Chains A and B, each alone.
Chain A
Amino acid sequence: MSTRDLILGRIRRAVDGPDTEVPRDYLREHGARTPEQSADLLAAHLTEYRATVHRADEDDLPPLLARLLARRGSATVLVPPDLPPHWLADADVTVVHDLAASTPLELDGVDSVVTGCALAVAETGTLVLDAGPEQGRRRITLIPDHHVCVVRIPDRLVDSIPQALDRLDPTRPLTWISGPSATSDIELDRVEGVHGPRTLEVVLLGGSAQ
């Protein structure tokens, strides 16, 4: 008998009793908010995780990104293949593309990465990337130490986790990011970042500019 049949047989002999209906009476979101309030909540929660939040309209985005990258002293910036070219039009940086042939070791030398996201969740302060438009493959938001993520408001903003899962495609690779990489493993002192980007900056694009 195969192990598979062995285990399935053990399960079938083990289970008994009545079935359980799953109650779905929990909330789809917690509280009613205007899109502006949702954006504020997202910003507040991201800030609590020690991410830096900025706001911009389409026109302000290129100078803002240029400022953020200059302040960081970034000379090289990794971008997904379909990042709108004008986003980095003002930045004095060398743009690096994530080619299939590039090794993680090569990408390790890059200073910053700029991407969009699939959606953001206000209640938890979470960005979700699904390797879709403006995001690239998973490794690019992982290897550089500085990640600038642009969230289109209100299109890409949801209030809650249930709403987020409704909109996501499970067959795509998904990365949920809530603040920068962090550890509390040494004497419970929080240290930002061990492996993922230690600095996360989020630009809320649209809605109300500063």
Chain B
Amino acid sequence: MTAIPLGMPAFPTAARDGVHDEVLRANLRHATHTIRDKRARAVAELADWDRLREAGKAVKDHTLRHLDRYLLELEESVTAAGGTVHWAADADEANRIVTALVLATGEREVVKVKSMATQEIGLNEALEAAGIAAYETDLAELIVQLGHDRPSHILVPAIHRNRAEIRDIFRTEMASWGRPAPDGLGDDPRELAEAARLHLREKFLRAKVAVSGANFMVAETGTMVVLESEGNGRMCLTLPDTLISVVGIEKVVPTFRDLEIFLQTLPRSSTAERMNPYTTMWTGTTDGDGPTAFHLVLLDNGRTDTLADAVGRQALRCIRCSACLNVCPVYERAGGHAYGSVYPGPIGAILSPQLRGTASEIDASLPYASTLCGACYEVCPVAIDIPEVLVHLRERVAQGGPVTREGIRVRIRPARGHTAERAAMRAARLLLDRPGALRAGERLLSRAHRLRPRRLPGPGRAWTDSRELPRPPAESFRDWWTRERGDRGEEHR
């Protein structure tokens, strides 16, 4: 199991920080509605969308039903194509495997493609502990990494950072990681992207080892698939000598042909594009082209436990498109950090408590982080009935019952005094009663770095008792948004 990352208040506490600014809400609403509309247009272009959605759902269900068979087939085809397959039961084992593989190359640096699985297991921290520097190469992940920060959205991880902050982060942090930011770096996105390009280019061109995840793995052929936009993925996947991919076991699909479904539904659901700029597919190793060594680490880390739950297992169909985040009224108000996991939004609310169990306060509270409005189910390209799973998990938290943990069937007791629900109620009451006070408090937090309290008041107290409060940005995203955007909304990516 993965530990909950430090600096994670339980959802009700954290959500409080993101709520209750009418202007921010109006703008976020406009932004999410814009991408919703854009997505709806991209989807409407395909007359057979519902059939593609049903087919995608069926492929995933069928694969999960025979997951043992397809994983063995995948292992065989990857091996036959020149790759090596490793199996990892949990985060620690996966981290150990990857660390050993990197050390065996003699290198102390790796370049990384944005990957939820490696975030989930805390790979960067594990590598660092072994003296290996892991460089994130997705622009947003780079911003998050250089800013000693956490991602707040599946697709746009640095959505909470504005251009001036990014410029400051680049100016102060780039030099300690490699090529420094150019003198007099301004805050135009084009200039910032160029600075990132130059900074990362020197890493790409000399990198010997890369680490990635994958969007899909094809059992029949051993083909791995990564979708991306910037080309950093292509750089990592093709230039280094050694490529290590850490992939959740649920990412396997039976046949190459099955990709025709997801290559149509994923980009449209995700960025509302017909197709993302770059997709790389590779099968083992190819003589004279790309890495000479390929390692696939198949990750369980709570997935088989999730599979054992007849209602909850549908969460494993998720293809991480983030459409459910963009339609969720709770995410829209609370923001991504509130979910306390690498998986934010509605999918996070059902996935994290299953992968990690509901023992902690945050995981117990996540099933309550929803209005059950059903919008997430409507947009989900693999038809995950998120509201159904939420209700199921609420029941588990409130009443206890049988669950599978690390492969063993156990019975959990109800949460003590129904902690999660009470915390949720309390947070809601606070928010509804005193929005002004909260907003002022948050601004104070943002602006007065030195006055930053070590402990949160109210419901956050128990949490900060044992943890350091994360450093807030100099200007909150909401302040920046208000200043920069006024009441005009911007098109979401």
A-side residues, CB < 8 A to B, are 2-4, 6-17, 19-27, 30, 45, 49, 100, 103-105, 108, 121, 123-126, 131, 137-139, 142, 161-162, 165-166, 170-191, 193-197
- Other-chain residue from B143, B166, B256, B492 in contact with A188 (beta carbon distance below 8 A): B492
**Bound-state Cα–Cα, A20 to B258, Å:** 14
Given contacts A161-B264, A194-B196, A194-B197, is CB(A186)–CB(B139) below 8 Å?
yes
Q: Which segment, of B122-130, B303-311, B361-369, faces chain A?
A: B303-311
Given contacts A6-B89, A194-B193, is CB(A185)–CB(B139) below 8 Å?
yes
- Other-chain residue from A170, A173, A183 in contact with B139 (beta carbon distance below 8 A): A183
- Other-chain residue from A126, A187, A195 in contact with B189 (beta carbon distance below 8 A): A187
- Let me know if B277 and A195 touch, CB within 8 A: no
- Let me know if A7 and B298 touch, CB within 8 A: yes
- Let me know if A178 and B88 touch, CB within 8 A: no
- Tell me if B386 is interfacial: C-beta within 8 Å of chain A: no
7 A-B interface contacts by CB (under 8 A)? A11-B307, A19-B62, A104-B239, A178-B276, A186-B143, A191-B190, A193-B231
Closest B residue to A174 by beta carbon equals: B281
**Bound-state Cα–Cα, A171 to B281, Å:** 9
Q: Mark B81-97, 1 if CB is under 8 A from A, else 0.
A: 10000011100010000
Of A8, A124, A184, the most chain B CB neighbours within 10 A belong to A184
- Let me know if B93 and A181 touch, CB within 8 A: no
Given contacts A104-B205, A125-B275, A182-B277, is CB(A15)–CB(B190) below 8 Å?
no
- List of B residues within 8 angstroms of A103 by Cβ: 205
- Let me know if B279 and A175 touch, CB within 8 A: yes
Closest A residue to B59 by beta carbon equals: A22
- List of B residues within 8 angstroms of A22 by Cβ: 55, 58-59, 62, 258
- Let me know if A125 and B89 touch, CB within 8 A: no
- List of A residues within 8 angstroms of B119 by Cβ: none
- Let me know if B229 and A142 touch, CB within 8 A: no
- Let me know if A176 and B279 touch, CB within 8 A: yes
Given contacts A131-B289, A170-B256, A172-B286, is CB(A195)–CB(B204) below 8 Å?
yes
- Let me know if B55 and A23 touch, CB within 8 A: yes
- Tell me if B259 is interfacial: C-beta within 8 Å of chain A: yes
- List of B residues within 8 angstroms of A187 by Cβ: 162-163, 189, 484, 490
- List of A residues within 8 angstroms of B68 by Cβ: 8, 11-12, 15
- Tell me if B46 is interfacial: C-beta within 8 Å of chain A: yes
Closest A residue to B75 by beta carbon equals: A4
Rounded to whole Å, the gap between the CB of A22 and the closest CB of chain B is: 4
- Let me know if A11 and B166 touch, CB within 8 A: no
- Tell me if B221 is interfacial: C-beta within 8 Å of chain A: yes
Q: Would you list the 4 A-B pairs with minimal beta carbon distance, nearest first? A: A196-B231, A184-B493, A195-B231, A14-B308
Give residues 163-192 of B contacting A (CB, 8 Å).
163, 166, 189-190, 192
- List of B residues within 8 angstroms of A13 by Cβ: 308, 407
- Let me know if B62 and A20 touch, CB within 8 A: yes
- Let me know if B87 and A2 touch, CB within 8 A: yes
**Bound-state Cα–Cα, A108 to B200, Å:** 13
- List of A residues within 8 angstroms of B62 by Cβ: 19-22
- Other-chain residue from B87, B231, B264, B283 in contact with A7 (beta carbon distance below 8 A): B87
- Other-chain residue from A6, A30, A182, A190 in contact with B407 (beta carbon distance below 8 A): A6
- Let me know if B156 and A188 touch, CB within 8 A: yes
Rounded to whole Å, the gap between the CB of A120 and the closest CB of chain B is: 12
- Let me know if A173 and B281 touch, CB within 8 A: yes
Rounded to whole Å, the gap between the CB of B240 and the closest CB of chain A is: 10
- Tell me if B260 is interfacial: C-beta within 8 Å of chain A: yes
- Let me know if B286 and A173 touch, CB within 8 A: yes
Give residues 406-459 of B contacting A (CB, 8 Å).
407
**Bound-state Cα–Cα, A10 to B407, Å:** 5
Rounded to whole Å, the gap between the CB of B443 and the closest CB of chain A is: 20
**Bound-state Cα–Cα, A30 to B431, Å:** 49
- Let me know if A138 and B65 touch, CB within 8 A: no
Given contacts A25-B51, A173-B286, A173-B290, is CB(A108)–CB(B307) below 8 Å?
no
- List of B residues within 8 angstroms of A183 by Cβ: 139-140, 193, 229-230
- Let me know if A108 and B239 touch, CB within 8 A: no
**Bound-state Cα–Cα, A131 to B281, Å:** 12
- List of A residues within 8 angstroms of B279 by Cβ: 174-176
- Tell me if B66 is interfacial: C-beta within 8 Å of chain A: yes
Given contacts A3-B89, A14-B308, A188-B490, is CB(A8)–CB(B71) below 8 Å?
yes
